[in-house]
Amino acid sequence: MKKAGKMPKNGKSPKKLIRNIVILFLSAVMLISGVGCVYADQMLSRINFVPMDTTSKVNTGDLFQGGSGNSTTSAKAGVLGGLYHDDAITNILVMGVDDYQPNDPGRSDSMMLVSVDTRHKKLKLNSFMRDMYVAIPGHASQRLNVAYSMGGPQLSVATIEANFGTDIDRFVLIDYASFSKIIDKLGGVTMTITKGEAQLINRNSGDPRRNLTAGTFLLSGKQALYYSRIRAIGDDFERTERQRKVFSSLVEKFKTADIGTINQALYDVLPLITTNMTKNEVLSMATNALTYLNYPISQNRTPGNSEYSSERVTMGGSPADVLVPDLEKCSQSLAEFIYESDLPTKSYGGNG
- Give 16-29 pLDDT, tens digit per residue: 455 556 666 666 66
Q: What percent of the chain has pLDDT over 90?
A: 33
Q: What is the model's pLDDT at position 214?
A: 96
Of these ranges, 53-67, 216-230, 248-262, the one predicted with the greatest mean pLDDT is 216-230
pLDDT at 112: 83
Helix, strand, or coil here: 334? helix
Write down the pLDDT at residue 237.
Answer: 56
Give residue 96's pLDDT band: very low, low, confident or very high (50, 70, 90): confident
Q: By the 8 A CB rule, do 174 and 93 touch? A: no
More confident residue, 125 or 141: 141
d(CA 171, CA 283): 16
pTM of the model: 0.76
Q: How does pLDDT run across 264-323, given as a tens digit for each residue? A: 777 887 887 899 998 888 887 777 766 787 788 888 889 998 999 999 998 878 899 999
Checking if the pLDDT of 57 tops 60, the result is no
What is the model's pLDDT at position 81? 76
pLDDT at site 1: 42
User: Which residue ranges form the domains of the chain, and what is each CATH number?
Assistant: 4-176+258-339 (3.40.630.190), 187-256 (3.40.630.190)
Q: Which residues of 256-349 form beta strands (DSSP E)?
A: 273-275, 297-302, 308-315, 318-325
Q: Counting beta carbons within 10 angstroms of the beta carbon of residue 80, is it exposed (0 to 12), middle (13 to 18) or buried (19 or more)? A: middle
Taking the C-alpha atoms of residue 118 and residue 111, their distance in angstroms, rounded to an integer, is 22
- Average confidence (pLDDT) over 93-103: 67
* pLDDT of 61 strictly over 90: no
State how beta strands 215-219 and 308-315 pair. unpaired
Whether pLDDT at 12 is above 50? no
- Quote the pLDDT of residue 267: 81
How many Cβ atoms are within 10 Å of 325's Cβ, its own excluded?
24
Mean pLDDT score, 71-91: 76
Computed over every residue of the chain, the mean pLDDT equals 78
pLDDT of residue 106: 61
Mean pLDDT of 21-41: 60
When mean pLDDT is compared across 144-148, 230-234, 300-304, 325-329, the lowest value belongs to 230-234
pLDDT at 59 over 60: no
Give the pLDDT of residue 31: 53
Give residue 348's pLDDT band: very low, low, confident or very high (50, 70, 90): very low
Q: Per 3-state DSSP, what percentage of the chain is helix, strand, and coil (rounded to 5)?
A: 40, 25, 35
pLDDT at residue 339, rounded to an integer:
94
Average pLDDT rounded to a whole number, residues 242-250:
72
Q: Residue 132: how many CA atoms within 13 Å on its side-chain side?
A: 28
Average pLDDT in the 322-333 region?
95
pLDDT tens for each residue of 211-245: 899 999 999 999 998 898 787 887 655 666 777 67
Mapping DSSP to helix (H, G, I), strand (E, B) and coil, where does residue 85 land?
strand
Say whether pLDDT at 337 is over 80.
Answer: yes
Choice among 29-33, 40-44, 270-274, 330-334 with the minimum mean pLDDT = 29-33
CA angle, corner 128, sides to 150 and 166, nearest 5?
A: 85
